[in-house]
Amino acid sequence: MNNFSYLQATQPKEATGAVRDNQQAAFIAGGTTLLDLMKLNVETHDQLVDINMLAFKGIEQTADGLRIGALERMSDVGENPLVMQQYPVISQSLLLAASPQLRNMASIGGNLLQRTRCGYFRDTAFPCNKRQPGSGCPAQEGENRGLAILGGSKDCIATFPGDLAVALVALDAVLLLENAKGKQRRVPLVDFHLLPGSTPQRETVLEPGELIVSVTVPAAAHTRKSMYLKVRERSSYAYALASAAVGLDVQGGQIRSARVALGGVGTKPWRSREAEKVLTGAPATEATFRAAAAAALREAQPREHNRFKVELAQNTLVRALTELTA
Amino acid sequence: MTDNFPPDSADRPDGPVPSDGRRSFIKQATGFLGLALAPPLISQAERLTAISKKVEGVTEMRLKVNGTVRTISAEPRVTLLDALREKLDLTGSKKGCDHGQCGACTVLVDGRRINSCLTLAVMNQGKEITTVEGLAKGEELHPLQASFIEHDGFQCGYCTPGQLMSGVACLKEGHAKTDGDVREWMSGNLCRCGAYPNIVAAIRQVEKSGFKS
Amino acid sequence: METEPSFFETSPTPNVVGKPLNRVDGRDKVMGRAKYSAEYPIPGLTYGVLKTSDIAKGKIQSIDTSAAAKQPGVLAIYTHLNIPKLAVTPNDADGKKAIGAPMGFMPLTSDVIFYAGQPVAVVVADTFERATHAADLVRVTYTTEQPIAAYTDPKAKIFDPAKIQDGKTDGKTRRGDARAALASAPVQLTAVYTHAINHHNPMEPGATTAVWDAPDRLTVYESTQGVTRTQKALSTMLGLPQDQVRVITKYLGGGFGCKGSCWPHTVLTVLAAKGVGRPVKLSLTRKQQFTSMGHREDQTQTLTLGATKEGKLTTLIHEKTSTTSPWDNYAESNSKIINMLYDCPNFEASYQLARGNVMTSTYTRAPGEAPGSFALESLMDDLAYKLNIDPIQIRLLNHADKDPTNGNPWSSKSLKECYARGAELFGWSKRNPKAGATRNGRLLVGMGMATASYPVHNSQGMARVRLYADGHAVVQSGATDLGTGTYTVMTQVAADSLGLPPEKIRFELGDTKLPTAPNSGGSVAAGTVSSSVYMAAQDVWGRLTKLAIKDKKSPLFGAKSEEVAVENGRLQLKKNKAKGEGFMALMKRAGLDDIEGSGSGKYGAGYETGQAASPATSGNAEKPATHSMHSFGAHFCEVQVDPDLGTVRVTRWVSVHGAGRILNAKTARSQIIGGSIFGIGAALMEATHRDNQFARYVNADFADYHIPVNADIPDMTVEFIDERDPYINAMGVKGIGEISMVGVSAAVANAIFHATGKRVRDLPITPDKILATKAV
């Protein structure tokens, strides 16, 4: 890891200003992604700005729904009674992620900025368009077993690895961002992460120095009746091969509204409006769920080693919907 | 940098002296964060450390480990794990992966279990750090340490300090009420020798004994 | 063996041996006091860090160290151009053999790159962070050639090696006429099995702390399974007398075979320390661990069997193809267990290799037996289903009453008891014999089993006992404790051999200054070292007996030594036990504060035949023993398979083994559990993926190379069948390190077959493979 200076910021402007003015600076909250990648030289920064002193805290019910401060820790949100009861998909996505230790460290904002586990990205000996634009993407023809089948491009098929973002994107979460001028803006999470296209190095809409302040989730019937299902190669402490975040409002066997997102299969947290369209207004039956799953994966572009993800993602979604309506 | 701790008789300089002879650069900006600006959620400990500061190069850092404040000279890039192992000779905390993927480095910071390999020493000043060396009271073992011995909760012992710190936290968190809970909530600690069933038994016994940490 | 004393005679009812004694090193381990090899606070210590190759094949064009050298605290940067030279390297003709090196190549001896991750520089600095960053700043440019990643690469040249496994095993084996037998076999089955690359991944990565005490005298704190093997390797390479290299390993954070040899990073650390004139500590990063200490090779096995309609085997034909390095013909000897496990008159095996741009693979827990048993025990299961015979029955039908490879009787064998007891503990009789017929809601439930076996190799070692007149003893042997419990079980053996309580024994190991012991590998350590300790204690008693019978004040004065026996630390007449005395009184009268004895314990064929085995290694005795020596056991596994999501969970596990004398019921159970979990990992999740184009691993870390976590493992039941085996060593110990994992992956795969009715022959059995079976 290269050497860097450390700045403990006490006010948002101090932090955002420092990072805006120095392209090589980065924010540090939990550090679980940043230090991991810095040790691998995937990221190099000459200054780390510690934002843990900032007041981006709180887990609270607002008039519209849920507000979570970006510096709350995954474990605190995951085990918060309000979140567990009213937004189970959020709690489950958090508690099925990483390990208890990492969840104690990692912040909500940082978790949304988690970077891919693609082995080519994480090893500087390989070419990688995300890490080194223009160098190539050996994953296309290489060891792509864990990589994305949705949202990829010829330049990048790196999977977004997180769970929370999948749950939040399903529930129409909105991020509150603040830039170095102290100006705040709201960005729906679904628009926050970018598809790789020809610029896989650009992962989010964050401007230099811009910080995530909080996340809000509108309350609805489908937030209470929601769940997260994660399929992985071992029973715990593993990234998703496929996951599904679902929320339903079912009345009299008919689905009034549906929220669906997939994890482990997309280059970004994958909201599936195609699946939601099939579900909305349809009877809550296995046939409907199957049709929704097929719709969700219709655009899938598997590679040599990740073809199984098409079926697995569909089955995961069907299972989640089945369990939720059981 | 303003010290986060009062002077302590147990202080002792530690760690290698930088051979380059560079002076420490310590810049101090702005003053205390006004209380009025601090929302009620910010804790007392955080208020005490609410000082903007910039640190670069080798500087003195003060870490409170197992109840004793100790001073080290280290760069900001030094992780808490390396500070413990290489600067303070507290080698109980282990380096198994250095990337938060194995749990061997687990310590408690302000009572919560974390991976010490993925946090910087400089960020942990002013916090209560507990390592495996701080579990026993002198020669009297913590009940979980004794239970690990009784249930053979380890073989090579390299993951053991992390398992113990995680286990102590697991008990405290209330995540040791069933075998299944323990299995899930201890899954952040890999054991290649495969002592898992014995680790579960060891933690469950302490839980059943009504021990309160 | 007749003339030597045996623990069976001198301690017919042991006090401590066999008991579930808590680990004697337990306190140090739970208190964080146990010092591993990178944890010695040596004055003046510096930090070494490897810079490794980005490419897998080619040449170093240039190395620019200027930016790295400018970094504060950097003391030295060694490349092939400036690192101190070795007297002998494994690259030299016969060098590898002279050294006992695991790999016929030493990095930093030329500009040629053979594999990704090959060290190209060693950086030494005053702190870990500075050394690490300086290594990053060393700029290496390469001329790159297209590498070969594996035997599956179309460019790879497959060849038939005369020998594999460092020349230990023939490339072809024949017994009877396997092809002719197959042609006439009424039942024929053939199947192809593949096995992913597996890495040992002990929790403690490889680590070396090298201290030059004088220009020609070296101390190395090393994470090794064998201090003597490392000592010999280093002294040979450095051109120093063996005694001028001291190797110390007090605590070892696991090894599983990868720490059984002296690998390049150890040598490079020693050379760097010599160069900088200061102690150097080097720990491999987890990523470097994947390319520094070997692995289990990627491999395909084709197994064919012929049998009668009743299910009796008539022939077995085994072929294996695997990847090896540019220099060595290494392959695990999978065929050995296939040759000996069942009564089968005809057998043929052959190995094929292809050279890839990879480092040499190495012994990995149950090397050969683990993947070999996967193929054999999967195919035996197929045979059982094909003929509608219970899987245990088909194995009993083919039970080898004697060793099929040479017709010798077994020294002991409790396999039938293992099947019976295991079936009882597991509830095998409740199993629906039909595959795919048991459900738990959406989940498919399956029960499978497999046979395990592991040979008693040939080994020998030495130990020393110093017995003090105040009633305590220090017992020493230069063994290592991988976590298997060597400290503890040797304390127990010494306690019973000396008639002392275990708390009066201090057992010391892990230092070449101590009497030589074999590597902890091949399951030889427990049997060899315990026998050595026992023999050393006998030597002490011999000396004390001599003293007593010459001492006018002793009740034993004038007796003949053969008339004297020792029981619980008391020397007494065999025929009149009342006549005798304790050793303390005797030593006090003789003015002896302490008395020392030493002994050599033989293990395996060498014990039966009285022949030597090289003390630091285990090999095959020249004169065949009259008995064949193996442990046997059986694993029983229940799984629940989610057919839609492809997930497999092991829900119940039973292992029963007959492995000679069990020295400690508690640590032995732990070891069997641990080996089974290791095997469950190989069965369900462990795979290192090597990119075909770059011949480089893409998942060299603990997040993406999955080993089992706590939540993967149910409670497990382990039992041992009591065995009394007088042929294998003075203690009757067989060793249990490897057998615990043999057959495990087959038991899991057989349970999956029983659950789903689909056979997966490709390890690991990850969700994608379960889903794929539905399409078949």
Task: With cut-offs at 50, 70 and 90, classify the pLDDT of residue B23.
Answer: very low
Q: Is the pLDDT of residue A117 over 50?
A: yes
Q: What is the mean pLDDT of residues C15-35?
A: 98
| Closest-CA residue to C567 (of C583, C552, C586) | C583
3-state helix/strand/coil string of chain A? CCCCEEEECCCHHHHHHHHHHCCCEEEECCCCCHHHHHHCCCCCCCEEEECCCCCCCCEEECCCEEEEECCCEHHHHHCCHHHHHHCHHHHHHHHCCCCHHHHHHCEHHHHHCCCCCCCCCCCCCCCCCCCCCCCCCHHHCCCCCCCCCECCECCECCCCCCCHHHHHHHCCCEEEEECCCCCEEEEEHHHHECCCCCCCCCCECCCCCCEEEEEEEECCHHHHCEEEEEECCCCCCCCCCEEEEEEEEEECCEEEEEEEEEECCECCCEECHHHHHHHCCCECCHHHHHHHHHHHCCCCCCCCCCCHHHHHHHHHHHHHHHHHHC
Q: Could you tell me how far CA C186 lies from the centroid of its own chain?
A: 40
**What would the two tokens of residue B4 be?**
């986060």
Q: What torsion, rounded to 10 degrees, do the Cα atoms A56, A59, A61, A67 define?
A: 40
**What is the number of residues in chain A?**
326
A6 touches chain C (CB under 8 A): no
pLDDT digits (tens, 9 = 90+) for B72-98: 999 999 999 999 999 999 999 999 999
Instruction: Write down the pTM of the prediction.
Output: 0.95
Residue C91 pLDDT: 93
- State how far the Cα of C18 lies from the Cα of C489, in Å rounded to an integer: 8
- State how far the Cα of C356 lies from the Cα of C101, in Å rounded to an integer: 19
Residue C236 pLDDT: 98
Q: Which residue has the tokens 């002879």?
A: B21
Q: Which chains touch B (3 or more CB pairs under 8 A)?
A: A, C
Residues in chain A within 8 Å Cβ distance of C55: 125
Task: With cut-offs at 50, 70 and 90, classify the pLDDT of residue C610.
Answer: confident
Residue C622 pLDDT: 55
Q: What is the mean pLDDT of residues C200-206?
A: 98
Residues in chain B within 8 Å Cβ distance of A3: 56-57, 75-77
Task: With cut-offs at 50, 70 and 90, classify the pLDDT of residue C776.
Answer: very low
Contacts of B61 (CB under 8 A, 6+ apart): B71, B72, B73, B74, B83, B121, B122, B125
Closest residue in C to B84 (Cα) is C39
What is the maximum alpha-carbon separation in chain B?
56
Angle between helix axes C665-684 and B196-208 (nearest 10 degrees) is 120
B44 touches chain A (CB under 8 A): no
CB–CB contacts below 8 A, B to C = 191
Question: What percentage of residues in chain B have a pLDDT greater than 90?
Answer: 73
Facing residue for B156 by CB, picked from C200, C283, C482: C482
pLDDT digits (tens, 9 = 90+) for B102-129: 999 999 999 999 999 999 999 999 999 9
Q: What is the mean pLDDT of residues C708-729?
A: 97
Residues of C with CB under 8 A from a CB of A: 54-55, 116, 129, 132-133, 136, 287, 644-647, 649, 684-685, 689-694, 696-701, 703-704, 706, 708-712, 766-768, 771-772
With respect to residue A88, please indicate whether it lies within any of the assigned structural domains. Answer: no
ipTM of the complex: 0.97
Q: What is the mean pLDDT of residues A58-72?
A: 97
- State how far the Cα of C333 lies from the Cα of B141, in Å rounded to an integer: 46
pLDDT digits (tens, 9 = 90+) for C757-771: 999 999 999 999 999
| Arithmetic mean of pLDDT over chain A | 98
Q: Determine the topology of domain C7-34+458-609 in CATH.
A: Aldehyde Oxidoreductase; domain 4 (3.30.365)
With respect to residue A256, please indicate whether it lies within any of the assigned structural domains. Answer: yes
pLDDT digits (tens, 9 = 90+) for C463-500: 999 999 999 999 999 999 999 999 999 999 999 999 99
DSSP secondary structure letters along C536-591: HHHHHHHHHHHHHHH-TTSTTTT--GGGEEEETTEEEESS-TTSEEEHHHHHHHTT
Q: Which chains touch C (3 or more CB pairs under 8 A)?
A: A, B
Counting Cα atoms < 13 Å in the Cβ hemisphere of A132 gives: 16
B96 touches chain A (CB under 8 A): no
Residue B28 pLDDT: 35
Q: What is the mean pLDDT of residues C690-701?
A: 98
- Mark yes or no for CB contact A104/B114 under 8 Å: yes
Q: Is the pLDDT of residue C297 over 90?
A: yes
Residue C424 pLDDT: 98
Residues in chain B within 8 Å Cβ distance of A236: 183-184, 187-188
**Min CA distance, C284 vs chain B (Å)?**
10
Closest residue in C to A117 (Cα) is C704
Q: What is the mean pLDDT of residues A111-117?
A: 98
- State how far the Cα of C108 lies from the Cα of A171, in Å rounded to an integer: 56
Residue C582 main-chain phi, psi, to 5 deg: -80, 160
**Min CA distance, A124 vs chain C (Å)?**
8
Q: Is the pLDDT of residue B51 over 70?
A: no
Q: What torsion, rounded to 10 degrees, do the Cα atoms C178, C179, C184, C189 define?
A: 80
**Min CA distance, C27 vs chain B (Å)?**
7
Ramachandran class of C523: left when φ > 0, alpha when ψ lies in -120 to 50, beta otherwise: left
**Min CA distance, A315 vs chain C (Å)?**
6
- State how far the Cα of C271 lies from the Cα of B95, in Å rounded to an integer: 24
Cβ atoms of C380 and C394 within 8 Å: the answer is: yes
Please say whether the dihedral angle defined by the alpha carbons of residues C494, C500, C501 and C503, taken in this order, is positive or negative: negative
Q: What is the mean pLDDT of residues C718-726?
A: 97
Facing residue for A120 by CB, picked from C647, C649, C698: C698
pLDDT digits (tens, 9 = 90+) for C393-417: 999 999 999 999 999 999 999 999 9
- State how far the Cα of A302 lies from the Cα of A144, in Å rounded to an integer: 9
**What would the two tokens of residue A86 be?**
């009213």
Question: What percentage of residues in chain C have a pLDDT greater than 70?
Answer: 98
| C7-34+458-609 against C397-456+629-775: fold identical | yes
**What would the two tokens of residue C367 be?**
């090397």
Facing residue for B157 by CB, picked from C201, C483, C673: C483
A234 touches chain C (CB under 8 A): yes
| Closest-CA residue to C264 (of C244, C294, C285) | C294
Residue C144 pLDDT: 98
**What would the two tokens of residue C458 be?**
């040939």
Task: With cut-offs at 50, 70 and 90, classify the pLDDT of residue B42.
Answer: very low
B53 touches chain A (CB under 8 A): yes
Residue ranges per structural domain of chain C: 7-34+458-609, 46-146+200-289, 397-456+629-775
Residue C3 pLDDT: 63
Contacts of C90 (CB under 8 A, 6+ apart): C96, C99, C101, C103, C104, C105, C106
Which CATH code, of 3.30.365.10, 3.40.47.10, 3.40.50.880, 3.30.465.10, is assigned to C46-146+200-289? 3.30.365.10
A5 touches chain B (CB under 8 A): yes
Residues in chain B within 8 Å Cβ distance of C202: 156, 158, 192
Q: What is the mean pLDDT of residues C14-39?
A: 98
Residue C4 pLDDT: 80
> Cis before residue C764, ω within 30 degrees of 0?
yes
Range(s) of the domain holding residue A253: 221-325
Q: What is the mean pLDDT of residues C535-562?
A: 97
State the best of C701, C710, C715 to mutate against chain B, taking most chain B CBs within 10 Å. C710
Q: Is the pLDDT of residue C201 over 60?
A: yes
Residue B52 pLDDT: 52
- Mark yes or no for CB contact A308/C646 under 8 Å: yes
With respect to residue A257, please indicate whether it lies within any of the assigned structural domains. Answer: yes
Cβ atoms of A278 and A295 within 8 Å: the answer is: yes
Residue B53 pLDDT: 85
DSSP state of B87: I
Q: Which chains touch A (3 or more CB pairs under 8 A)?
A: B, C
Domains and CATH numbers, chain B: 25-134 (3.10.20.30), 143-208 (1.10.150.120)
Q: Determine the topology of domain C397-456+629-775 in CATH.
A: Aldehyde Oxidoreductase; domain 4 (3.30.365)
Residue B213 pLDDT: 62
Q: Is C289 exposed, middle or buried (0-12, 13-18, 19+ CB in 10 A)?
A: buried
State the best of C645, C680, C690 to mutate against chain A, taking most chain A CBs within 10 Å. C645
Q: Is the pLDDT of residue B22 over 90?
A: no
Residue C774 pLDDT: 73
Stretch (H or E) spanning C274: helix C264-276
CATH code for position A226: 3.30.390.50
| Closest-CA residue to C366 (of C455, C451, C292) | C455
Q: What is the mean pLDDT of residues C126-134?
A: 98
| Closest-CA residue to B154 (of A153, C414, C447, C25) | C25
**Min CA distance, B137 vs chain A (Å)?**
25
- State how far the Cα of A133 lies from the Cα of C343, in Å rounded to an integer: 62
Residues of B (73-92) whose Cβ lies below 8 Å from C: 75, 77-78, 82, 85-86, 89-92
State the catalytic residues of C.
Answer: 738
Residue A75 pLDDT: 98
**What would the two tokens of residue C732 be?**
């009757």
DSSP state of B120: B
Q: What torsion, rounded to 10 degrees, do the Cα atoms A71, A75, A78, A81 define?
A: -90
**Min CA distance, C233 vs chain A (Å)?**
32
Cβ atoms of B118 and B104 within 8 Å: the answer is: no
A280 touches chain B (CB under 8 A): no
The total number of structural domains in chain A stands at 1
State the best of A71, A99, A115, A232 to mutate against chain B, taking most chain B CBs within 10 Å. A99
B168 touches chain A (CB under 8 A): no
Q: What is the mean pLDDT of residues A183-207?
A: 98
DSSP state of C18: B
Q: What is the mean pLDDT of residues C340-356?
A: 98
With respect to residue A269, please indicate whether it lies within any of the assigned structural domains. Answer: yes
Task: With cut-offs at 50, 70 and 90, classify the pLDDT of residue C439.
Answer: very high
Residue C775 pLDDT: 55
Q: Is the pLDDT of residue A78 over 50?
A: yes
Facing residue for A39 by CB, picked from B50, B98, B112: B98
A52 touches chain B (CB under 8 A): yes
Q: What is the mean pLDDT of residues A7-32?
A: 97
Residue C611 pLDDT: 80
pLDDT digits (tens, 9 = 90+) for C58-114: 999 999 999 999 999 999 999 999 999 999 999 998 999 999 999 999 999 999 999
- Mark yes or no for CB contact B187/A237 under 8 Å: yes
Q: Is the pLDDT of residue C623 over 70?
A: no
Facing residue for A234 by CB, picked from C116, C685, C772: C685
Q: Is the pLDDT of residue A79 over 50?
A: yes
pLDDT digits (tens, 9 = 90+) for B185-205: 999 999 999 999 999 999 999
Task: With cut-offs at 50, 70 and 90, classify the pLDDT of residue B142.
Answer: very high
Residues in chain A within 8 Å Cβ distance of B119: 30-31, 35, 105
| Closest-CA residue to A208 (of A4, A3, A7, A45) | A45
pLDDT digits (tens, 9 = 90+) for C495-518: 999 999 999 999 999 999 999 999
CA distances from A97 to A111, A166, A232, A263, B200 (A): 10, 12, 11, 12, 21
**Min CA distance, C71 vs chain A (Å)?**
10
**Min CA distance, B102 vs chain C (Å)?**
7
Q: What is the mean pLDDT of residues C180-193?
A: 98
